[in-house]
């Protein structure tokens, strides 16, 4: 009876619930459909699925799985079961629940207090740590409210994901935040990117890397990460995206993505919220130098980034400087080197971007189901792929002999875009819109490189990896022949080390491609690893090596070529007090989500050091 099941009240999590794709309402539906109810009933060994109350179930995750080993493609769900609701709504299930309870070992059990860990509630926890009575933007120093003028002043340099989240936390907790961005707000940045794509005008300070939202704005907006989708930090960031207008299904989708058209309004809402918090946002303003006194950062020197020949420099004083500049701010890296900031080269990856017709990838991955995707009904996601290949002896002493090759930033239904910040260097990446409706599927295809590869550039010290990148970007610009034309080669010719002589297949890249000897661009060991991997992939994905597959050069900015040393816990530079290096440029993140999480936690850590609250982190 009911008494016997009282202890079962709470949540159960059911995972790996499979619904055949042909029965499912499709990728955008995150509710509980009758076929899902059947899968739940089967998992619970409950005889009649229609007796189960829909309200008792919440879809937590929904992914599409079309692996060849399956009998047919399917959607795979993770569902939380509210046991109390099951009991409230369906008395006839009581006995059943009581019988099930002893078997709970086979089903993951969730505690009753399922705390929603969005950024707002996290902030509340931190605030309760101070004295629980703070209003937003009040400042506390050792328990006494200060006048607003005494608020600690913090500069956040860079408005990419890491800088935005650091500003959000610090603003919410009552610091006087100035967010300094060298590029333009999204409205003007969109026009500048339009001028690049249509008229070949590259604005060195407003482009695919620089400007509001950072590198991730005109991107695919994939929200995937290796730091753990269900961690509090990632959940807080995802929920904040939804709060600022991101579609709620990103919380459920197994491979969530936003697309540029969703990112731009989201960033505008983010900006309005920061302004409401009192964050002072200054665009078109570049930090050119740090003011350092006695081993401590006291402020920054800024200039108007729109003026080519330098505007009068202005010095701004701050109690702390959060550096969130991304990995394309090479001038900022050089400035840090002049100040002897502790940094060291770090491994990253370089390679090419491969593009296929999307229909070909759908055919390879989905077989019969591809026909439905081609018709554009939108029920099944367009196909993607992920490839990782390892080579070498596994000898940790010889990293140069251990390379891996992997696909990276795969953009189904996307396009290849120019991510150069300087006309003499050429590098590319991929972006898409939320519907992923373009005819092309592109992906970076890269091999790892490490300090051994940077030896020819050793004279540049900690910037050796940056110079390595620059070298291949310059070679790519020369091979393309200028004007942002990208060097390209049919994948079949790349494998045979020969120039493509027939007409190249069409490319989504808008500024033109030129047949080139991409097999001669990188050091031979990098080329060989890329070639061997492509041959291995063809075995797994027959059709991948096709006359329609086109390689584009080069992919160099996969992650930061260096790391700026900082203290774990405080996020402060190990060599310069008051400097807080964060995000991808500092070598602590790779992607929108991990950069956001890094910025958020730095915000908390710094707020603690500035005595904005006294909670435990
Ligand atoms: P950034 O986003 O690089 O932001 C740094 C900001 O600092 C920039 O706005 C820059 O203008 C500013 N800045 C630099 N120097 C200065 C200075 N001296 N003074 C003032 N301001 C300065 N990641 C994903 O997770 N999913 C994707 O689908 C994805 N697609 C991508 C597609 C493209 C085309 C590109 C370029 C990147 C993509 N990425 C993607 C990577 C992702 O964008 C980055 O990992 C992320 O933006 C890093 O965040 P960040 O805050 O560390 O730095």
Write down which residue in 90, 110, 130 finishes a domain.
110
306 and 158 share one domain: yes
Q: Please tell me the predicted confidence (pLDDT) of residue 100.
A: 63
Nearest to 75 by CA among 11, 31, 45, 13: 31
328-342 as b/e: b if 16+ CB within 10 A = bbbebbebbbeeebe
222 and 100 share one domain: no
DSSP state of 514: E
Write down which residue in 514, 532, 555 finishes a domain.
555
The answer, yes or no, to whether any atom of ligand 1 lies below 6 A from the CB of 554, is no
The residue whose CA is least distant from atom 12 of ligand 1 is 158
Residue 240 placed within a domain: yes
Cα 215 to averaged position of ligand 1 atoms, centre (Å) = 3
Structure tokens at 157: 């340099």
Instruction: Output the CA angle 464-466-498, nearest 5 degrees.
Output: 100
Q: Are 332 and 287 in contact (CB under 8 A)?
A: yes
Structure tokens at 589: 């993140």
Structure tokens at 51: 């007796």
Q: What beta strand segments (E) does 43-190 contain?
A: 57-65, 74-82, 108-110, 140-141, 144-145, 153-157, 176-180
Residue 513 placed within a domain: yes
Q: Please tell me the predicted confidence (pLDDT) of residue 514.
A: 97
190 and 307 share one domain: yes
The answer, yes or no, to whether any atom of ligand 1 lies below 6 A from the CB of 216, is yes
474 vs 308: CA distance, rounded Å: 22
In a mutational test of the pocket of ligand 1, which residue from 155, 156, 157, 160 has the highest number of ligand atoms less than 8 Å from its CB?
A: 160
The answer, yes or no, to whether any atom of ligand 1 lies below 6 A from the CB of 256, is no
20 and 76 share one domain: yes
551 vs 568: CA distance, rounded Å: 40
285 vs 190: CA distance, rounded Å: 18
Q: Please tell me the predicted confidence (pLDDT) of residue 145.
A: 40
Q: Please tell me the predicted confidence (pLDDT) of residue 141.
A: 40
244 and 321 share one domain: yes
4 vs 577: CA distance, rounded Å: 60
Q: Please tell me the predicted confidence (pLDDT) of residue 53.
A: 86
The answer, yes or no, to whether any atom of ligand 1 lies below 6 A from the CB of 444, is no
Cα 81 to averaged position of ligand 1 atoms, centre (Å) = 39
- Tell me how many domains the chain contains: 3
280 and 337 share one domain: yes
Cα 466 to averaged position of ligand 1 atoms, centre (Å) = 16
The answer, yes or no, to whether any atom of ligand 1 lies below 6 A from the CB of 181, is yes
Distances from the Cα of 256 to the Cα of 386, 465, 589, angstroms: 15, 32, 18
- What number of CA atoms fall less than 13 Å from residue 318's CA on the CB side? 30
Backbone angles phi, psi at 322, to 5 degrees: -95, 120
The residue whose CA is least distant from atom 8 of ligand 1 is 214
Q: Are 317 and 578 in contact (CB under 8 A)?
A: no
The answer, yes or no, to whether any atom of ligand 1 lies below 6 A from the CB of 159, is yes
Cα 596 to averaged position of ligand 1 atoms, centre (Å) = 11
Write down which residue in 76, 110, 144 finishes a domain.
110
The residue whose CA is least distant from atom 10 of ligand 1 is 210
256 and 192 share one domain: yes
321 and 206 share one domain: yes
384 and 508 share one domain: yes
Nearest to 302 by CA among 321, 330, 279: 321
Q: Please tell me the predicted confidence (pLDDT) of residue 392.
A: 74
The residue whose CA is least distant from atom 41 of ligand 1 is 591
| Long-range Cβ contacts of 578-581 (<8 Å, 24+ apart) | 578/296, 578/297, 578/298, 578/318, 578/319, 578/320, 578/321, 579/290, 579/297, 579/320, 579/321, 579/323, 579/341, 580/166, 580/320, 580/321, 580/322, 580/323, 580/606, 581/323, 581/341
The residue whose CA is least distant from atom 9 of ligand 1 is 214
Residue 242 placed within a domain: yes
Cα 19 to averaged position of ligand 1 atoms, centre (Å) = 38
Residue 82 placed within a domain: yes
Q: Please tell me the predicted confidence (pLDDT) of residue 112.
A: 40
Residue 615 placed within a domain: no
363 and 417 share one domain: yes
The 3-class SS string of 324-386 reads CCCCCCHHHHHHHHHCCCCEEECCEEEEEEEEEEHHHHHHHHHHHHHHHHHCCCCCCCCCCCC
Cα 216 to averaged position of ligand 1 atoms, centre (Å) = 5
Cα 592 to averaged position of ligand 1 atoms, centre (Å) = 8
The answer, yes or no, to whether any atom of ligand 1 lies below 6 A from the CB of 526, is no
Residue 617 placed within a domain: no
Cα 470 to averaged position of ligand 1 atoms, centre (Å) = 18
Cα 252 to averaged position of ligand 1 atoms, centre (Å) = 25
For residue 262, the domain's CATH number is 3.50.50.60
Cα 556 to averaged position of ligand 1 atoms, centre (Å) = 14
Residue 336 placed within a domain: yes
Q: The whole model's pTM is what?
A: 0.88
The answer, yes or no, to whether any atom of ligand 1 lies below 6 A from the CB of 161, is yes
Q: Please tell me the predicted confidence (pLDDT) of residue 308.
A: 65
Nearest-atom number in ligand 1 for the CA of 331 is 18
392 and 531 share one domain: yes
The answer, yes or no, to whether any atom of ligand 1 lies below 6 A from the CB of 210, is yes
Look up the domain containing 402 and give its range: 347-555
236 and 378 share one domain: no
Q: Are 46 and 56 in contact (CB under 8 A)?
A: no
Nearest-atom number in ligand 1 for the CA of 332 is 18
Residue 616 placed within a domain: no
Q: pLDDT tens digits for 514-531? A: 999 999 999 999 999 999
Residues in the chain predicted with pLDDT less than 70, given as ranges, are: 1-9, 88-118, 120-149, 308-311, 393-401, 613-617
Cα 1 to averaged position of ligand 1 atoms, centre (Å) = 58
């Amino acid at each position: 009876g009911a008494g016997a099941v009282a202890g079962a009240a709470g949540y159960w999590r059911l995972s790996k619930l499979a619904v055949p794709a042909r029965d499912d309402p499709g990728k955008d539906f995150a509710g509980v459909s009758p076929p899902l109810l059947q899968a739940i009933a089967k998992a619970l060994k409950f005889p009649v699925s229609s007796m189960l109350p829909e309200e008792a179930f919440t879809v937590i995750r929904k992914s599409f799985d079309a692996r060849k080993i399956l009998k047919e493609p399917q959607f795979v769900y993770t569902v939380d079961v509210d046991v109390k609701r099951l009991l409230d709504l369906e008395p006839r299930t009581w006995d059943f629940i009581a019988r099930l309870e002893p078997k709970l070992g086979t089903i993951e059990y969730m505690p009753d207090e399922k705390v929603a860990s969005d950024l707002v509630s996290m902030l509340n926890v931190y605030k309760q740590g101070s004295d629980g009575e703070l209003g937003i933007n009040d400042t506390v120093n050792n328990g006494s409210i200060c006048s607003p003028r005494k608020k600690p002043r913090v500069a956040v340099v860079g408005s990419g994901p890491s800088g935005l989240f650091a500003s959000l936390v610090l603003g919410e907790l009552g610091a006087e935040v100035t967010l300094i961005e060298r590029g333009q707000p999204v409205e003007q940045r969109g026009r500048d990117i339009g001028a690049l794509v249509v008229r070949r005008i590259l604005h060195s300070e407003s482009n695919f890397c620089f400007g509001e939202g950072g590198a991730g704005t005109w991107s695919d907006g994939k929200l995937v990460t290796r730091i753990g989708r269900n961690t509090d930090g990632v959940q807080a960031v995802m929920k904040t995206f939804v709060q600022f207008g991101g579609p709620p299904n990103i919380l459920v989708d197994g491979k969530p993505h936003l697309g540029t058209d969703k990112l731009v309004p989201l960033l505008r809402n983010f900006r309005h919220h920061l302004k409401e918090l009192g964050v002072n946002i200054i665009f078109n303003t570049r930090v050119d130098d740090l003011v350092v006194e006695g081993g401590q950062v006291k402020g920054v020197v800024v200039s108007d980034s729109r003026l080519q020949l330098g505007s009068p420099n202005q010095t701004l004083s701050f109690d702390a400087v959060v550096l969130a500049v991304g990995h394309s701010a090479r001038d900022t890296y050089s400035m840090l080197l002049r100040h002897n900031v502790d940094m060291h080269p770090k491994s990253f990856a370089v390679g090419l971007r491969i593009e296929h017709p999307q229909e070909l990838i759908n055919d390879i991955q989905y077989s019969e189901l591809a026909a439905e995707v081609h018709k554009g009904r939108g029920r099944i996601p367009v196909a993607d792929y992920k490839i990782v290949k390892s080579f070498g002896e596994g000898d940790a002493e010889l990293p140069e002999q251990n390379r891996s090759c992997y696909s990276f930033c795969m953009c189904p239904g996307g396009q290849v875009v120019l991510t150069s910040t300087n006309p003499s260097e050429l590098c590319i990446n991929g972006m898409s819109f939320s519907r992923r409706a373009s005819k092309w599927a592109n992906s970076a295809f890269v091999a790892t490189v490490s300090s051994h590869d940077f030896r020819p550039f050793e004279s540049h010290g900690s910037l050796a990896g940056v110079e390595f990148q620059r070298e291949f970007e310059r070679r790519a610009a020369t091979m393309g022949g200028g004007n942002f034309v990208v060097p390209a080669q049919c994948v079949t010719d790349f494998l045979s080390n020969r120039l493509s002589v027939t007409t190249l297949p069409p490319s989504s890249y808008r500024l033109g491609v030129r047949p080139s000897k991409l097999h001669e661009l990188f050091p031979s060991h990098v080329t060989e690893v890329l070639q061997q991997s492509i041959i291995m992939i063809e075995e797994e994905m027959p059709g991948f090596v096709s006359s329609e597959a086109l390689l584009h050069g080069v992919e160099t900015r996969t992650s930061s070529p260096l790391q700026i040393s900082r203290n774990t816990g405080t996020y402060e530079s190990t060599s310069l007090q008051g400097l807080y290096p964060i995000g991808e440029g500092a070598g602590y993140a790779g992607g929108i989500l991990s950069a956001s999480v890094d910025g958020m936690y730095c915000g908390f850590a710094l707020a603690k050091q500035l005595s904005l609250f006294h909670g435990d982190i």
